[in-house]
Amino acid sequence: MPFPGSGLPQFNTYERPTSCSHSNTCIRRISIPRFPVYSRAIWGMRGSCIPMVQRFLCGIVGIALQSYLGGVCIAAMLSAIFPSFHRMKNTLPLSANITTQQFVGWVVFNLLSVPFLCARLERRNIVRVFVALNTYSFFTLFGIMIWAVRRAGGGGPLLSRGPLPNNDIGWGICKAVTTVIGSIAVGLMSQPDFTRFARTPGAQVMGQWTSILLFGTLMPLFGRITASANQAIYGQPVWNPTEIALQWLADDYSAKTRASSFFVSLGLMACQLVVNTFENGFSTGMDLAGLAPKYLNIRRGALLALVVACGSCPWQLITNASVFLNVVSSYTIIIGPILGIQICDYFVLRRRRLQLSGLYDAVPHAPYWYAHGFNWRAIFAWIVTWAPQLPGFINAINPSVHVPFGAAKLFDLSFLFGGATGFLIYLGINMVFPPGNLGQMDEADVFNIFTEQEAERLGMKACAQSSAMEVP
């Protein structure tokens, strides 16, 4: 959907790679395996379950939403191939918020996701496949925009309408920032899970900055122009590209239109498949593997997450564009404070120094045991930060619930408020009640994961291969 404020895409794209760079730095510089392990230093050996559960819940919602959108793409593909499927009678009631065609597509998409979720992340071939799918998706979305502009004879009326009041523009930009950050919230927290595969520390940073700045600016622009052009074509700003492909079939079911609709829907489905596998499926699987390592690995966790997401009836969450945006924005209530606490802990309090051996030491008096395995400082800062945002979130989901104006607008600032407030509260608590493990590092490379040059730069002794300990 088009948002007010022409500088919005650029504003968001600078925030997103900055958050990614934080997660990348702490993981690649000191070689922490995954987000669940890194969380132990901040939340405690037992308290690390808190951010893992939160990311798991966000991941479940993400899997559910993306699987539904992918199912709609599959339904459009089947409608383009089979005339009988296109004419299939809807046997579901209107209150179900899903048609029979969409339900069939949703089932097929979930089945198609299974082999991708079973793939091994460390294999480069799967990465190449996903890069090819993403490239195809980009040109698909670019082609939709070109078609819309050509059909409408321009960018449409929404790009040339009169200026909005300054107050509306300001809050509109804040709402848009929250929505965009919410759409990639799980991905921001999942950076440690994937950047650990980088060939050298920091090798991924330049690629992330350039790709996010470039595509993070282009894609919102494509969507804004397409929605505005659709206002001139259909009389309403159609914001879902899959609906455009379905509208083509409804207007003209010729062979040419069917082919166009199929390949466009295929490109859109590829995008949903990549996002649902990499950003949602694998990261959620890692959380479950961290919560129950005795019974689950990453692949089993990802498949279990898919099963749980199937029971959430995601079509009820996307009844219209406003509900969809509010659901996506809700991620930032939880993720914003966690990111703020992480940045404060690693860069300010610990000054990028962690004791790796302590991350695997779950006994009293261990470096990251804190109080019975919980770091109450992080827990307190997190709760105090997200609790004031709940009234605004409830009002956004159900406008009949009246809340004060300030509480409603605080939800529009959820990521900015949550990140900054979590950072400051956590910093203040640690200055008054500092833990005893700040700035500690191992004297030697006990896991034999650094080269001699890296160990020297970190101020530790290199360890011979024969005396290396095995990472749990």
pLDDT tens-digit profile of 192-241? 777 777 777 677 777 777 777 777 778 888 888 999 999 999 988 887 89
pLDDT computed for residue 322 by the predictor: 62
Q: What is the domain partition of the chain in residue ranges?
A: 8-441
- 371 forms bridges with which residues in the sheet? 374
Three-class SS of residue 15? helix
Q: Cβ(348)–Cβ(434) under 8 Å? A: no
Three-class SS of residue 368? coil
Q: pLDDT tens digits for 14-29?
A: 344 444 544 545 545 5
Q: Cβ(417)–Cβ(434) under 8 Å? A: no
Is the pLDDT assigned to residue 177 strictly greater than 80? no
Q: pLDDT tens digits for 38-64?
A: 899 999 999 999 999 988 888 888 899
User: Confidence class of residue 171 from pLDDT cuts 50, 70 and 90?
Assistant: confident
- 374 forms bridges with which residues in the sheet? 371
CATH topology of domain 8-441: Hydantoin permease (1.10.4160)
Is the pLDDT assigned to residue 189 strictly greater than 90? no
